[in-house]
């Protein structure tokens, strides 16, 4: 599905140069569930952002379905992103002014889809996630776990084949964290590829494969039997 080849990301300010990714090579197949782990500052989120095409690499190639997207500008990346990638963030990133249904619908808003189709899909996904009874609630009225469910619903409503989750359980207690992980596992079972950054070894265990990063390098990769 995607392949990173000799990927570098360097942050430069006037005086300091920080190498966040230092020649990373990584391949992820369709249907994979990959956990990325490592200490703070090792480049996990940077890697995820580049995979998610939210950021562009300083050097290296990024093949997404055999297409090298590394040189693309923001509008090119945006086009591929909206068709293929759903995101789940640690801080949920729900829009406070929109209710649950509208937040989920946001993911379809830029897809040139008729309103009736959008409504149908939103209703479907809310049923699946068990949040249909919260459709009219505003994010502020929900618990952290419920908010993350909405975020997951938003990530999957567009039927994107790849979901990137940046510490999806980081702001949740263990019970809600567990719930979210179960959700991701079931999505993966339905065929969605998932790449997740996490600090929690127990949550990493949900993945087929764990990639350990250190100072911008991939140091180990462990594969688990599915």
- What's 215's DSSP letter? T
**Which lies closer to other proteins via its Cβ, residue 84 or residue 188?**
84
Binders of other proteins among 117-176, rule CB under 8 A? 154
78 scored as a contact of other proteins (CB under 8 A): yes
140 vs 191 by CB, closer to other proteins:
140
In the three-class reduction of DSSP (H, G, I as helix; E, B as strand; rest coil), residue 191 is classed as coil
> Interacting stretch for other proteins, rule CB under 8 A, among 10-18, 89-97, 126-134, 214-222?
89-97
> Cβ of 77: how many Cβ atoms within 10 Å?
20
Complex with other proteins: residue 81 or 149, whichever CB lies closer: 81
Contacting residue, 27, 59, 67, 74, with other proteins by CB under 8 A: 74
Contact between 87 and other proteins (CB under 8 A)?
yes
Nearer to other proteins, 111 or 189 (CB): 111
Smallest separation (angstroms) from other proteins to the CB of 85: 8
Closest among 187, 107, 94 to 142, alpha carbons compared: 94
Query: 152 forms bridges with which residues in the sheet?
Result: none
Q: Which long-range contacts (CB under 8 A, 24 or more apart) does 37-42 make?
A: 37/197, 37/198, 37/199, 37/201, 37/204, 37/210, 37/211, 37/212, 37/213, 38/212, 38/213, 38/214, 39/214, 42/213, 42/214, 42/215, 42/216
* Binding footprint of other proteins on the chain (CB under 8 A): 49, 52, 54-55, 74-75, 78-79, 81-83, 87, 89, 93, 95-98, 102, 106-107, 109-111, 154
């Amino acid at each position: 599905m995607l392949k990173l080849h000799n990927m570098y990301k360097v942050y430069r300010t006037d005086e300091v140069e920080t190498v966040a990714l230092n020649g990373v090579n990584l391949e992820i197949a369709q249907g994979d569930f990959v956990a990325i782990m490592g200490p703070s500052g090792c480049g996990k989120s940077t890697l995820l952002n580049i995979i998610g095409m939210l950021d562009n690499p300083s050097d290296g190639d990024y093949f997404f379905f055999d297409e090298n997207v590394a040189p693309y500008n923001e509008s090119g990346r945006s086009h591929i992103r909206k068709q293929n990638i759903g995101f789940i963030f640690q801080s949920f990133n729900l829009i406070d002014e929109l209710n649950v249904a509208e937040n989920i619908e946001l993911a379809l808003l830029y897809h040139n889809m008729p309103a009736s189709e959008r409504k149908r899909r939103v209703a479907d996904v809310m049923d699946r996630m068990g949040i249909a009874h919260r459709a009219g609630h505003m994010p502020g009225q929900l618990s952290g776990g419920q908010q993350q469910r909405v975020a997951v619903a938003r990530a999957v409503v567009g039927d994107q084949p790849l979901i990137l989750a940046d510490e999806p359980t980081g702001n949740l207690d263990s019970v809600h964290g567990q719930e979210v992980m179960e959700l991701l596992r079931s999505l993966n079972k339905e065929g969605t590829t998932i790449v997740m950054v996490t600090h929690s070894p127990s949550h990493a265990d949900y993945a087929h494969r764990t990639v350990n990063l250190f100072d911008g390098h991939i140091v180990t990769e462990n594969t688990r039997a599915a």
